Amino acid sequence: MRRTILLLAATAALTGCGAELPLDPEPRVQSVALEARPGDVAVLQDGRFLVALDGGIVRYLPDGAVDRTFGVDGFRKVDLVEPRLAVDLDRIYVSGRYPAIIFSDYGFVSRVMVFDLEGAAVEDWGPEGFRSFPGLEIQAISPSLAGPIIAGILDSQVVWARLERRGAEAAIETYDPPEDVRVLAVTGRRVLLGSTAGPLGPMAAGYELTMNGSFWPIGPGRRDLDIRRLDQTDGVFLGCGSRNGVTVVFRISDGDLPSEIEDIAELPGDGFCLDFVVDGSTSYVLFADATRGEVVVRSVDRLGRELPALPARFSAPWTSSLGTGALARRADGTLLFAFGDREDARLVMLEAAR
């Protein structure tokens, strides 16, 4: 099968957030320019997918065309930056910072907004469909049948909250961590944290916060791993990070505490992990190579062997140290990823090899 690469320089107004992807009889890679920095990508059960940007959410059809039935002409305005998505059977939850000057006394305010799958605000959460959290930096959000679960940092404390579907706080707890930390992932029964060396310092080892309020070190005694991203499959967390300048794919055990860290693979190259997803026995890494100035999608199996064929590798220009990236995988094997900064951002569909 021939391999077609379509890279567009198209731009669009923010109310459209991206021109439609061009269709090809045998597409392998499709790309479109985005007008805002991407924050997250989420796949819906029917193969459509969402891209959260600073300022809004766009829904796409499985073939990559903008779904004009969503929101207003395919776009739902969301007054948030650095958005993160969580999707359940009939709702879209999005968290992020609300950049409003009226909240300057708090430094910033986070919001959780909720929409139905067509982009309409859910009135149970108020007329505009949101809840505000002054001073709380929400760093992770996860869906559940009872409502979204959020975790973040408020005045150096870890906040772990369960929100009811109607928007009320079902349970909200605060905990004093043993040192400055950042939330990496949250579920209904555990929060994974990365420790920091200072306000702008790198994450090192990490901690697991359990439901009884106990902090357990991840990989006791190890302070050499810069944990960047985590994903969960079959109750096990896998992730990517760096150690001594080398990108590492690793597994965190789920059993007796404290949890252990087991290295799966080392990926060569001078760069860092933007995002990470696991699907079955394969781990996918969205990797920004600083030396080559490119974004690379790489994949390894559970034995640590890097997979050489598409969709294991795809390269695209990377110019900013301030950029972000988000990666997701559809049931049909298609990889979806968005990356870039406020000046240059892209959405890419990379079909699985047939």
The mean per-residue pLDDT over the stretch 326-351 comes to 89
Do 327 and 261 belong together in one domain?
A: yes
Average confidence score pLDDT of the chain? 80
Instruction: Give the pLDDT confidence score for residue 51 in this predicted structure.
Output: 97
- Is residue 64 assigned to a domain? no
Closest CA to 209 of 192, 226, 232: 192
How far apart, in whole angstroms, are the C-alpha atoms of residue 324 and residue 275?
9
Taking only the tens place, the pLDDT of each residue in 223-271 is 677 788 888 887 788 888 888 778 889 888 777 778 888 889 988 777 7
Q: Which tokens in the block code for residue 8?
A: 């567009």
Do 98 and 211 belong together in one domain?
A: yes
Owning domain of residue 271: 1-39+228-354
Quote the number of domains for the chain: 2
Q: Is the peptide bond before 258 cis (omega within 30 degrees of 0)?
A: yes
Do 85 and 218 belong together in one domain?
A: yes
For residue 344, pLDDT over 80 is answered with yes
Instruction: Collapse the DSSP code of 124 into the 3-class scheme (helix H, G, I; strand E, B; otherwise coil) and give the result.
Output: helix
pLDDT > 90: percent of the chain: 29
Closest CA to 31 of 351, 333, 353: 351
The mean per-residue pLDDT over the stretch 312-328 comes to 73
Instruction: Give the pLDDT confidence score for residue 320 in this predicted structure.
Output: 66
* Global pTM value: 0.85
Do 148 and 269 belong together in one domain?
A: no
The mean per-residue pLDDT over the stretch 114-134 comes to 87
The mean per-residue pLDDT over the stretch 104-120 comes to 84
How far apart, in whole angstroms, are the C-alpha atoms of residue 60 and residue 43?
10
The mean per-residue pLDDT over the stretch 319-327 comes to 78
* 38, 67, 101 from 70: Cα distances, Å: 18, 6, 30
- Is residue 166 assigned to a domain? yes
